[in-house]
Structure 1
Amino acid sequence: ITGDIQGKKIAPIILLSLVENAFKHGVNKNIGNIKIDISFEIKEDFLYFSVSNPMPSIMNQNSGKNYSGGIGLKNVRKRLSLGYSENDYNLEFEEMDNIFIAKLKIRVA
């Protein structure tokens, strides 16, 4: 966590859903030591949040399929669109070396 978070607010549950997704798909569906990285940075009027987790082992075996997320991630996108204007947030998902990364840039109040 970096930056001044004092008095900064965003819509409730948004970050929780992204963290839950990392544990559901990164920990619950893998065996052994699992690493989940969470980054939380305030710069000026924006929060830059990211969470990364290993892709589920089952998905790794089917490398030809692209993972786009389930209903939880779609709900996050919908909550953002209902509560914020298009210029106030950016939500991206990417896969790199069998790691799923969710990145959110959101305006703080």
Structure 2
Amino acid sequence: MQMIPQAVEKIMLHLFENDFINESRFAKAFARGKFSIKKWGRNRIVNELKRRKISAYNIKLALQEIDNENYLKTLDELAEKRFYQIKETNKYKKRKKLADYLLYRGWESDLVYERVTGLVP
């Protein structure tokens, strides 16, 4: 904004003191939003927070915002929805496409492969 350094310093100090800039609050809101809106898994959320240089402590706090029961329910819904969208007839290719999709979205590999083998026998 091409402001003088004293003004920038005063504004930044005010924002920090009044808790407008807060890494913990950002990390928690980011994790909740990306999980509930974009259906991202924990791996992708962690990677994105690390990319934004959020501390490990705040990443851990952010992941606690995600309820484990809701997390597994969302994985099941997402996997089932994508399963019916894939038009592949070969079961191995279909299994791979589904697994790749879920892994790309950041879901843990053990959960993904458990769910994929349950959907594609």
TM-score above 0.5, yes or no:
no
Greater share of residues in helix: 2
Q: Under TM normalisation by the shorter chain, which class is it? A: under 0.3
Greater share of residues in strand: 1
What is the TM-score of this pair, normalised by structure 1? Answer: 0.27
What is the TM-score of this pair, normalised by structure 2? Answer: 0.26
Greater RCO, CA 8 A, separation 6+: 1
